[in-house]
């Protein structure tokens, strides 16, 4: 949560090779993120104290949602539309291709 800078529209990330970087975020994504954060605490009691954005609650304990769990969620919901589902990487790639073909600039 400390790596998300809503007002400046960027997020600090760690890339391959453990290299820190900051990435710009589209205004529409910031709006969606703010909406999610508004319901996060009510849906996951105690989440406000967690340093993780995506959490789950097991036995009253707030825990981070791990990479594999996110992959499973993406696969579950994309399987409803595609025969074998799609990986988070494929969704990101497909979005970037469509976005740039529609005139978007991925280099902000």
> Residues 55-103: pLDDT tens digits?
998 888 999 999 889 888 888 888 888 887 787 788 888 888 998 999 9
Domain final residue, candidates 49, 65, 81: 65
pTM over 0.75: no
Q: Are residues 55 and 72 in the same domain?
A: no
Give residue 108's pLDDT.
55
Q: Are residues 77 and 106 in the same domain?
A: yes
Long-range contacts, 25-31 (Cβ 8 Å, 24+): 30/6
Q: Which two tokens stand for residue 105?
A: 């600039």
CB 20 within 8 A of CB 13: yes
11-37 pLDDT tens trace: 999 998 999 999 999 898 999 999 999
Laid out side by side, the sheet with 10-15 consists of 4-5, 10-15, 19-24
75 and 90 co-located in one domain: yes
Q: Are 56 and 65 in contact (CB under 8 A)?
A: yes
Domain count of the fold of the chain? 2
Element (H, E) at 43: helix 27-43
User: Could you tell me the residue range of the domain that residue 13 belongs to?
Assistant: 1-65
Same domain, 6 and 50: yes
If asked whether residues 36 and 77 sit together in one domain, one would say no
């Amino acid at each position: 949560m400390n790596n998300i800078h809503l007002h400046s529209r960027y997020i600090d990330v760690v890339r391959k090779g453990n290299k820190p970087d900051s990435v710009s975020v589209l205004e529409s994504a910031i709006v969606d993120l703010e909406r999610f954060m508004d319901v996060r605490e009510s849906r996951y009691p105690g989440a406000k104290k967690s340093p993780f954005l995506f959490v789950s609650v097991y036995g009253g304990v707030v825990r981070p949602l791990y990479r594999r769990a996110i992959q499973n969620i993406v696969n579950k919901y994309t399987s409803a539309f595609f025969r074998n589902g799609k990986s988070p990487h494929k969704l990101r790639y497909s979005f970037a291709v469509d976005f740039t073909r529609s005139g978007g600039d991925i280099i902000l």
